[in-house]
Chains A and B, each alone.
Chain A
Amino acid sequence: GEDVEQSLFLSVREGDSSVINCTYTDSSSTYLYWYKQEPGAGLQLLTYIFSNMDMKQDQRLTVLLNKKDKHLSLRIADTQTGDSAIYFCAEDSGGYQKVTFGTGTKLQVIP
């Protein structure tokens, strides 16, 4: 089955850039996603990238996709304390509209 891995924890200082990494095993994804989960809340879709793209930029967010290495990353520029949350990558190789989530990376932003 699909396997999506992330590092568990990342700590950055306010104003620095954050890079959250994700690796996956199934190469048949159509879309890959980044979700944000704040404490005690559901998930919010931050951004997504189509599998035939290498990069997507959306304001402070940059997504890089390396299909050869099956590696996805999310860069948050000028990280703010409000960015503190758990970030999940996800991919949809399991079927249309059915996503597999990564293990989640807890981002801590230090003022």
Chain B
Amino acid sequence: GAVVSQHPSRVICKSGTSVKIECRSLDFQATTMFWYRQFPKQSLMLMATSNEGSKATYEQGVEKDKFLINHASLTLSTLTVTSAHPEDSSFYICSAIRDSNSYEQYFGPGTRLTVT
């Protein structure tokens, strides 16, 4: 199978601090990883597309300076929420694609961020 992990699964932080979320593909190399945000009872919103070794491509309306994405290796992408505010509280999910010809995204279990 293709397993994607996220760490941490839950995090609570104070307003103004930064939080890093890791997304790892455990048994395959991911050419592309995606970061999504899911609000309660709402669909997933794509935040950015991350390719190893290059800058992430952000969707319209997503602040790249607030949501820093680093895809340093073929198995790891990180999302850092900088200067977090309560409105950043959400469920963040990453996904990874095994190769450039693949249609299937493998999703991580998600990270619940609560900013107090």
Contacts and interface: CB of A to CB of B under 8 A. Distances in A.
How many chain B residues sit at the interface, stated as a range, is: 20 to 34
B43 A88 contact: yes
A45 to B, nearest CB: 6
Interface in B28-79: 32, 34, 41-44, 46, 49
Nearest to A6: B43
The size bracket of the interface on A is 20 to 34
Interface string A16-32: 00000000000000110
Contact of B43 (A41, A48, A98, A102): A102
A103 B32 contact: no
B43 A42 contact: no
A44 interface: yes
A59 interface: no
A92 B4 CA distance: 21
Contact of B4 (A8, A31, A42, A102): A42
Contacts of B32: 97
A42 B103 contact: no
B99 to A, nearest CB: 10
B87 interface: no
B112 interface: yes
A99 interface: yes
A34 interface: no
A98 B42 contact: no
6 contacts: A30-B103, A42-B95, A43-B44, A43-B93, A103-B42, A104-B43
What are the nearest 8 A-B pairs in CB distance?
A42-B107, A43-B107, A101-B43, A42-B109, A101-B44, A103-B43, A42-B110, A42-B108
